[in-house]
Amino acid sequence: MDPAIRFLDGALKGYGAGSILYISFGSMFFPPSEHLRTLVDAVLALEPPMPFLMTTPGAHGKFPKDLESKIKETKHGILVPWVDQQAALSHPATGWMLSHCGAGGTFQALSQGVPIIAWPFAVDQPQHAVWVTDVLDAGFYLIQNRTGLAATLKASRGGPAGMRILGTEKAIRMELDNVLHQVRGPVGAMKRANAAKAATAIWEYIKPNGAASSELERLRTYF
């Protein structure tokens, strides 16, 4: 059996439905090692534990060996080089996805009713993050992890540190602690419900003879 699916099955049995945090930054982007340590430490510090499934970086990043060992020792998380993302997102153990908000992952998560903790990097990812968090209200948008030019701009939303981007590991950890706490509370439940509404709308749209089919037929008239 695939080790990721085995881990999800075990988490479902040991922690219940919606207990897993699935962390994936895709194949092109990955946080710097200091941000990665802060993220993993924040998740591992949660009580009760929040089991997590995380994909390791491809050719564009490295996962610190000591951090990998730390995760293995706790047995609360698993690192895999690749996972069948649709299988992971549709698994009943999966409760949230922490994502860079690429187009594919964003759509796949919402189509399964999985809310998103957004950690975008560049190109279209911030737009998807805004759409998920501000339009659908189906997730949280992390801001303290911004780097480069983005870190010099005032955020359009606030967190524990306000709307100022401090960019320190302390500020990143404070924001992560706040978000991970809310995930398990009424705010998280509301966002999960909104993600479920998005899933219903998506499947209604793409069903046979649904609105997507109608729009494609209309498009064909131009060719």
78-131 pLDDT, tens digit each:
999 999 999 999 999 999 999 999 999 999 999 999 999 999 998 899 999 999
Number of domains in the chain: 1
Q: What is the DSSP string of 126-188?
A: HHHHHIIIIIS--EEE--TT--GGGGGSPPSS-BTTBTS----HHHHHHHHHHHHHHHTSHHH
CATH number, residue 165: 3.40.50.2000
Between CA 95 and CA 108 the distance in angstroms is 14
Q: 89: domain range? A: 3-220
pLDDT recorded at residue 222: 87
Entry pTM = 0.90
Average pLDDT, the chain: 90
